[in-house]
Amino acid sequence: MTQKPVMHSAHWGAFTARQQGERLTIEPFHGDPDPSPLLQNFHNVLHHPARVAQPMVRRGWLENGPGADPRRGNDDYVAVSWEQAYTLVARELQRVGDAYGPEGIFGGSYGWSSAGRFHHAQSQVHRFLNTVMGGYVRSVNSYSSGSASVLLPHIVGDMNEIARRGVSWEEIARHSEIVLAFGGLALKNSQVASGGLSEHTERGFMQQAAERGARFISVSPLQSDLPDEAQGEWLALRPGTDAAFILGLLSVLIDEQRTDEAFLARYTVGWPQMVAYIRGEEDGTRRDAQWAAEICGVSAATITDFARQLHGKRVLVTVAHALQRAEHGEQPVWLGLVLAAALGQPGLPGGGYTYALGALGHYGKHHNLVSFPALPQGKNGIDRLIPVARIADMLLHPGTQFDYNGRRLTYPHIRLAYWAGGNPFHHHQDLARLRQAFCQLDTLIVHETAWTASARHADIVLPATMTLEREDIGGAPTDRHLFAMQPVAQPYAQAQDDYTIFAELARRLGREEAFTEGRDARGWLRHHYAQLQEKLAAHQVTIPDFDQFWLQGVIELPQLKDGGRMINAFRADPAAAPLPTPSGKIEIFSATIASFGYENCPGHPVWRAPQQQPDAEHPLWLIANQPATRLHSQLDFGDYSLSGKREGREVCSLHPHDAAARGITDGDIIELYNQRGHVLASARVTESIMPGVVQLPTGAWYDPVDPTALRPLCRHGNPNVLTLDIGTSSLAQGCSGQITVVQLRKYRGELTPVQAFIPPQPVSYSTEII
Ligand code: PGD
């Protein structure tokens, strides 16, 4: 069948699409100057065998009923009808709700889902659990910015103001002299923005700035963290040591009286404590260039010279999400701000501190005058939460206390977890431990488009439509285009929209009206669009009516050009526009954080060596970063993602020295391992990575040879088998998955093909009992 092209949008770009048989042809949005190759992942996925075709129930759960079960992840599945699936899910929700109330249900359902604002799966789960079940145990913060989002409000202000509304790319192109990017500015990251990204402009802005003479300096163990267009410089340092590096820089600036004392006195609190710490007045350890050199693997002379080069220049400091996704990840975020302040830069055009520039396509962009309405979540009847990355701790240790951002909280006892739009067996650390945690549940229900590892651990798997199979509206607060996401194809097999599934469950549980408010999906789209019209009308802005919008496929929204507004106003008049911190200033020392008494995150930024250190057994750092060929684990079976693999396995980069020392050549299958498990990958030998460091991106679907093994072997290349499941600190309890330590060798065991994309075949089973 060949159809007319229709407009659609994804987190990685807008496009028109046309179905031709089982494949799609895709044309990037005409206004996009630098479309993302991730669009190619849509070509082959609509009818891929990895799709979930029908509702399925885990055999052990059918036989024994709800309850802890070590077979999760290693059991058969039984195909059931939608009628049977609805009966089972509604009955189980009723049982858990009656016996334990919302405190027995975990509805965090973390995950990126797809770009449409109405069918956003996590919002659908939350609304359903609030309006139908009276609430749920929730999760707070994200795997992306778990520690920064907790830290930044204490020391400067809301993360949104210092990231999304930070210094704009336009200003950088015009004014910055040095862009000092800790963790780099890799385009693979900024090609993505939640809700969509119609114009990929980072490459162009970097080119403009570089042509004007701006210097881009990427401080990172990986050369690939900066695109060619930036004509940048690469300063390689050991993973996880940026905080020590910045302390070394500060020490040079202090000793050589190159700090902007007037700025520090007027706009910050706590500089004297910082100086005392750097000089070792507290404990006798001077954090100078030599001290930093030994930690970072960068010479003291380089650190000294580097600090001098920053002095007197319009410097913009940015710290990537990746750096705070590690033990003590709060520290480089804090120190990046301190460095910018010490140089007197915040609030100057193209200078200062902007958090996570380039980490997503949202940052450094302009904000829409008004934002598109989100699906209302309803009211959660309880206030129980966990920081999102503490899920395994919660399931394994109910009733145990933990610290979080000045509070002492207790893990609830969860009986049922409901997940839609996320893939915990992609995003979480130490997957063997995660499996044990999920085995404690009575019931795990998952809506999925495809048979991810998370679906394979569920008790009830409901087939969800993918974005291409339904209508929605796509837009992000930093994107001037709003898209009518028109359906490209019919739903695959028996797949249904998350909304349809929840509406039917709500009906069976007697709460249909509360959940749907009498609207079908199109009704909600019209409703939200009307709300947008109303908000714009208040600013005397008119947009076409819904039908016209739907016909056109795209409209343009008015934007504000107010990047850096909070800091600019503060610099102009700190008394009139104080920062939303307790002192109203940049807090180099935070009395609030100090009052929490956390050894792992005291009142001013510090260097704390992580508990994971390379040693004789595990001598290599592993960087498990974002992939370049897909968004997280989404569409790992898509054409573009597959094209990046070798013989179906993920590719691991390592330096020629480390390869030679182990007799490894390019293209060998290697085994990375540590005390948590083993991972196979294809070796790429390259000089664009530091010696002593290897890199394996996230997102290859977990494919354990024996899912029940205590130290499983993933034959596909999922690095989260190896990463450690600990919080960044007691302050934020963020995800620490970015780096870990490993050993590796040429793989000499039995090599079985990757099976991650082969779905479970339903076993025959009498479903009369349902
Ligand atoms: P995705 O692969 O985007 O990963 O973790 P996240 O769980 O968000 O998962 C989204 C899932 O939603 C996919 O399985 C997709 O099939 C499904 N889906 C898409 N659309 C729909 C829909 O409409 N309905 C339903 N029901 N399902 C849908 C990402 C997380 O991983 C993030 S944000 C970060 S930043 C972290 N990064 C790292 C890292 O750098 N290093 C490590 N080691 N670990 C990380 N984990 C984190």
**pLDDT, tens digit (0-9, with 9 covering 90-100), for 170-198:** 999 999 999 999 999 999 999 999 999 99
Distance CA 534, CA 529 (A): 9
Single out the catalytic residue among 112, 169, 492, 701.
112
Give me the percent of the chain exceeding a pLDDT of 90. 98
Active site residue 418: no
Query: Does any ligand 1 atom lie closer than 6 A to the CB of residue 502?
Result: no
Q: Label residue 504 by pLDDT band (50, 70, 90).
A: very high
586 and 658 in contact (C-beta within 8 Å)? no
Active site residue 291: no
Q: What is the Å distance from ligand 1's center to 113 Cα?
A: 7
Question: Residue 282's pLDDT is what?
Answer: 85
**pLDDT, tens digit (0-9, with 9 covering 90-100), for 80-117:** 999 999 999 999 999 999 999 999 999 999 999 999 99
Distance CA 672, CA 163 (A): 35
Q: What is the Å distance from ligand 1's center to 325 Cα?
A: 15
First to last CA, the chain: 39
Beta bridge partners of 56: 79, 461
22 and 47 in contact (C-beta within 8 Å)? yes
Q: Label residue 391 by pLDDT band (50, 70, 90).
A: very high
Q: What is the Å distance from ligand 1's center to 188 Cα?
A: 16
Question: Residue 769's pLDDT is what?
Answer: 57
Question: Residue 770's pLDDT is what?
Answer: 63
176 and 213 in contact (C-beta within 8 Å)? no
Q: Label residue 768 by pLDDT band (50, 70, 90).
A: low
Question: Residue 139's pLDDT is what?
Answer: 98
Distance CA 343, CA 302 (A): 18
pTM: 0.97
**β-strand pairing of 215-219 with 178-182:** parallel
Q: Above 70 in pLDDT, residue 47?
A: yes
**pLDDT, tens digit (0-9, with 9 covering 90-100), for 526-544:** 999 999 999 999 999 999 9
**pLDDT, tens digit (0-9, with 9 covering 90-100), for 719-767:** 999 999 999 999 999 999 999 999 999 999 999 999 999 999 999 887 6
Query: Does any ligand 1 atom lie closer than 6 A to the CB of residue 631?
Result: yes
**pLDDT, tens digit (0-9, with 9 covering 90-100), for 548-581:** 999 999 999 999 999 999 999 999 999 999 999 9
Q: Above 70 in pLDDT, residue 213?
A: yes
354 and 371 in contact (C-beta within 8 Å)? no
Query: Does any ligand 1 atom lie closer than 6 A to the CB of residue 329?
Result: no
Q: Above 90 in pLDDT, residue 241?
A: yes
* Segment 418-434 mean pLDDT: 98
Distance CA 674, CA 55 (A): 37
Q: Label residue 3 by pLDDT band (50, 70, 90).
A: confident
Single out the catalytic residue among 61, 77, 110, 234.
110
- Residue of higher predicted confidence among 225 and 154: 154
Interacting residues of 651 by C-beta distance below 8 A, sequence separation 6+? 644, 645, 681, 682, 683, 684, 696, 717
3-state SS assignment for residue 689: strand
Distance CA 641, CA 37 (A): 10
Convert 583-622 to b/e letters by CB count within 10 Å (16 or more is b): bebbbbbbebbeebebebbbbbbbbbebebebeeebebbb
Which element (helix H / strand E) includes 677?
strand 677-685
Question: Residue 568's pLDDT is what?
Answer: 97
Query: Does any ligand 1 atom lie closer than 6 A to the CB of residue 456?
Result: no
Q: What is the Å distance from ligand 1's center to 426 Cα?
A: 7
Q: Label residue 524 by pLDDT band (50, 70, 90).
A: very high
